[in-house]
A and B are shown apart, each in its own frame.
Chain A
C-alpha cells in the first residue's frame, strides 16, 4: 500500500472517530450539561463514564493487545476537541486517563509492563486517576518506602473519587531526590480521600485530596525515572490539552455566533454591530490558527518529525491562552445572559481557565520549553 492510500485510510478513520465523538457529545453531554455542572456533586456522570468506556474512549492510547484501540494522538485530540465543544468535563476524564496510561506506555519502553496492562484491561479498571492538572515540579510528592509503600499527600488527584486505580509519583526514601511512578488501588487500606474539591470548572471531572499511609503500590517502569516518564507524557498529552481547549473555544464561538444572530440590540441583530463582528472575527481567527497548529503538531508526532515535542508544548500553552481570552469574550457577546447558567458560555469560560492548568502551571511550562530550546542550542 502506498503512502497516499495509508493517509487516506488514516483520514477516514479519524473522520469516523470525530463523528463518533460528536454523536456521543450530542447524545450524552449536551442535554445534561447544567445537571453535571451542579454542586454539591451527586452521582456524576456514572452512566456516561461507563458509556465512554463502551465506545473505547479510554483505550485510545492503550495498546491494542490489551483492549485499547492504539489509534494514537490524532484520534485522542479529535475526541477531546469534539467532546469539549459540548462539555469539557468528559474530555477532562478521558484526558486524565490517557495521561496515566501514557506514563505506563513510556515505562513499557524500559520494562515489561504487560502485568500492569492486564490489570487495567479488567472491567471497570478505567478510567485511571491522575494528577493531570499538576506539573511534577510543583507537586507535593509523597514518599515511597523500600517495600513500595506510599505515605504522604497528593492534592487534587483528578478522578481520585471515582476511579479504582491511581497513577502517582513518589520520592524514594533511600534516594530522596529520585522520583518514580507507582500505580495503586484506591480501595486499599490506608487511603483517606477528601470530598471532591469544588473548583472553577470541569465540575464533572473532579479531583480529591488524597492522604496515604503506608499504602502498597506497584512500581511503574524503572525506579527513579519518574521525571523522564512525566516529561514524555507531558509532550504527548500536550496535543490533547490543546485539543480540549480548542474544543471549548469552538463551542463558545458557535454559541456566540448563534446568539448574536438571534438577538437584537439598538434595532438590529447584534451581529450587525461591527464592534461585535470584530470580537467574533478575533475568535474565528484564534480557532483557525489553533486548528491549523494542532493539525500540524499531530502530523509531526504521527510522522516522527524531530522536535515534535516542542511544537506540541508550544501549541498547548498557546491554544489554552487563546481559549481563556476568547471564552471571556464569548460570555461578553451574550451580555448578561452569557453570565448566567441558562447558557453554556459561563461554563466554557470557567472550563477554559481550569483547562489552562492541565499538565502544570502555564508559566512553568513556558520556562521548561525555553530551557529545552536553550539547552539544545548550546
Chain B
C-alpha cells in the first residue's frame, strides 16, 4: 500500500476549513504551547486531592444541615465553612504569587470546583465565587488594585479574618442585559456612578450577589450614563463600611442555600478615585479599539473564566447525583433483586456516568481555551509562567511596589485590551458558552435521572439526591442564562464568518 503524502500547501488548505484545530481541540493546543505540562498535572492532582480532603473533613459533615438551617432561617450564614476555607488557604490558592497568592494554575481551579460541588454546589460556590470577584478585578488590569486587594486577602488568611471579593453586576431590571454590550443599551439600568471630585458617587442597587453579605470587597459595575451604559461603564472596588453602602435583603432561593444571594444598596455611596478599577474615560484615550469593544473584552474575559467554572459546578452536581444514585442502587431491592442488577438501571447509571465525563472533558477544553486566549493567557507566557512557579513569594513581596507604577497597568492593558485578537475572544467566549449551557443541561438531566432511579427516596432531603436538582437549576440561570449562552456560542463560533448573520 502506498503512503499518501500531503504537500505543505495541501495541509494548510485542509486545516483552514472549519472546524479548525485551534477552535476545537484547545487541550492539544495548550499542551503544545504551555511549558511544563508535568508541573500543571501536579498542580491539578494536588488541587483535586486538597478538595477531596476538604470535602471529607469540612463539607460532608455539615452541608445538609446548612441547607436546612438556611431553609429555616434565611438570615443564616455559614461562617464556620467560610472560616475553614480561609484557614485552609483557599482564598489565595489561585491568586498568582506575584500578588501574594499561592499561585496554583487557574486550570486546576475547575477540577477543584467540581470536587467540592460533587458534595455541595452551594458550598462550592461559597468557597469559589470569591474568584469571580477576583477575576473581574483582574480583567480591569489595574495592577495596583489587584496587588492591594489580593494582599489584603492574604492578610485575611494570616489573621483568620476571611477577606472575600464579590462581583456586583446584576440589577433588579437587568440580568442578561448586563452581560452583553449589544443588549445593555436597551436594558433597564439603574445603578449610576456619577463622577464627582475625588471619586464617584454611586446610587442604585444590585441583586443576586453571591457571597455579598460575607464578602469584604465588592467589585461593582456601574455606569455614568443610563442611556448609554455600554460606553460609560465604570468598575469600582467598594469595601464594607464605605459611606452610603449597605446590604439589603437576602434572596430566598430554591437551592445553593449555603451561598447567600444578596442585595447591595448604594445611596450616594462615595468611592474614592484610588478604588476605581477601570473607567471608560481612561479607555477612550486609546484609539485602536472603541470603549464598547474594550468593555466587551473585559466582560468576555470574566465570563469565559467563570462560565467554565459554572460548568464545573454542574459536572459536580451531575456527579454527586450519579454517585448518590449508584450507592443507593447497590442497597435498594426492587421486585426482589438489587436495583443495580436491573439492566435498565445499569443503563441509566451508565448514561449518568457518561454525562459526567463528557461534561468534564468539555469544561477542561474551555479551561484550556481560557489559558490560551483568556484572562489566564498572561500567566501562560513562558517568563511569567516560570517566574510565578519558581520565584519565592517573599521575592514578589519585595518587588510588589512595581505594580503601583501606572506604566504597569498601561502595559498590561495594551496587551490585554488593545492588542487582544478577535479570534481569541471568539474561541474563549464561544467555548465558555458551549460548556456552560452544555454542562448545566447535563447537570439537570443527571439530577432528574437520579430522582427517577430512586423514586420517593430520591426526593428525601436526608438521602441527598434532591438537593443536587435544586442546586443544579441555578446553574442554568446565572453567568448568563443558557439561552444567552446559546446565542453567544452561535455568534462566536458559528456566525462569525457569515456577514448576513445578526444576533440579538
Interface, chain A (partner B; CB < 8 A): 39-40, 133-135, 137-138, 155-156, 197-201, 207, 264-268, 273, 275-276, 279, 324, 328, 331-332, 335-336, 338-342, 346, 349-350, 353-354, 356-357, 360-364, 367
CB contact under 8 A between A349 and B254, given known A336-B170, A357-B451? yes
Given A342-B252, A360-B455, are A198 and B461 also a contact pair (CB < 8 Å)? yes
Query: Complex formed: what's the CA distance from A365 to B477 in Å?
Result: 32
Contact, CB under 8 Å: A137 / B335: yes
Q: How far is the CA of A340 from the CA of B71 in the complex (A)?
A: 12
* Measured CA separation A357–B253 after assembly (Å): 24
The smallest C-beta distance from B370 to any residue of chain A, in angstroms, reads: 25
A338 to B453, CA, bound (A): 26
Can you give 6 A-B contacts (C-beta < 8 A)? A199-B466, A265-B175, A267-B183, A340-B254, A356-B452, A367-B342
Report B68 CB to chain A, min CB distance, Å: 7
Nearest opposing residue in chain B for A340, CB measure: B251
Q: How big is chain B's contact interface, by range?
A: 35 or more
Question: Is the pair B460, A336 in contact by a Cβ cutoff of 8 Å?
Answer: no
Q: Chain A nearest CB: distance from B502 CB in Å?
A: 13
Q: Mark B464-504, 1 if CB is under 8 A from A, else 0.
A: 00100110011011100111001100000000000000001
A336 in contact with B477 given A137-B334, A265-B176, A266-B176 (CB within 8 Å): yes
Chain B 148-177 interface 0/1 with A at a Cβ cutoff of 8 Å (1 = within): 000000000000000000000010011111
A155 CA to B453 CA in the complex, in Å? Answer: 17
Interchain CB contact under 8 A, B254 and A265:
no
- Whole-angstrom distance from the CB of B191 to the nearest CB of chain A? 16
Contact status A367-B344, CB under 8 Å:
yes
B444 & A328 in contact (Cβ 8 Å cutoff): yes
A201–B467 Cα gap in the complex (Å)?
Answer: 11
Closest to B476 in A: A332
Residues from chain B with Cβ under 8 Å of A363 in the complex: 344-345, 348, 452-453
Give residues of chain B (421-462) contacting chain A, Cβ–Cβ below 8 Å: 444, 448, 451-462
- In Å, the complex CA distance between A135 and B187 comes to 50
> Which residues from chain A contact B456 at a C-beta distance below 8 Å?
133-134, 155-156, 199, 207, 354, 357
| CB proximity of B290 to chain A, nearest CB, Å | 20
Q: Is the CB of A332 within 8 A of B187?
A: no
Cα–Cα, bound, A353→B465 (Å): 12
Q: Nearest CB to that of A201 among chain B residues?
A: B459
Query: Do A199 and B335 touch (CB < 8 A)?
Result: no
Partner of A357, one of B254, B458, B487: B458
B175 x A336 contact (CB < 8 A): yes
A contact residues around B186 at 8 Å (CB): 266-268
B188 close to chain A: CB less than 8 A: yes
Known interface pairs A339-B473, A340-B252. Does A361 touch B334 (Cβ–Cβ under 8 Å)?
A: yes
Q: CA of A342 to CA of B482 in the docked complex: distance in angstroms?
A: 22
Given A275-B486, A332-B481, A336-B477, list of 13 further CB < 8 A pairs?
A39-B68, A134-B455, A198-B462, A265-B174, A266-B176, A266-B186, A273-B483, A331-B473, A336-B175, A342-B252, A346-B254, A349-B473, A363-B344
**Which of chain A's residues have a CB closer than 8 A to the CB of B174?**
265
CB within 8 Å for A200 and B486 given contacts A332-B481, A353-B451:
no
Tell me the smallest distance from the CB of B73 to a CB of chain A, in Å: 10
Residues of A contacting B176 with CB < 8 Å? 265-266, 335
List, in ascending order, chain A residues with CB within 8 A of B455's CB. Answer: 133-135, 138, 357, 360-362, 364
CB distance A341 to B253 under 8 Å? yes
Are A138 and B487 within 8 A (Cβ)? no
Residues from chain B with a CB closer than 8 A to the CB of A39 are 68, 71-72
Distance in angstroms between the alpha carbons of A341 and B183 in the assembled complex: 28
Contacts of A273 in B (CB 8 A): 483
Q: Which residue of B lies closest to A320 (CB)?
A: B452
User: Bound state CA distance, A201 and B504, in angstroms?
Assistant: 37
Q: Is the CB of B334 within 8 A of A266?
A: no
Residues A138 and B459 in contact in the complex (CB < 8 Å), given A328-B444, A356-B451: no
Question: Given A197-B462, A265-B183, A353-B469, A339–B477 Cβ distance below 8 Å?
Answer: yes
Q: How far, in whole Å, are A154 and B482 apart by their CA atoms in the complex?
A: 42
Chain B residues in 8 Å Cβ range of A332: 476-477, 481-483
Q: Which 4 A-B pairs have the closest CB atoms?
A: A267-B186, A361-B455, A133-B456, A346-B254
Complex CA distance for A267 and B332, rounded to whole angstroms: 53
Query: B342: which A residues are within 8 A, CB to CB?
Result: 367
Of the listed residues B174, B183, B448, the one surrounded by the most CB atoms of chain A closer than 10 A to its CB is B448
Q: Which residue of B lies closest to A156 (CB)?
A: B456
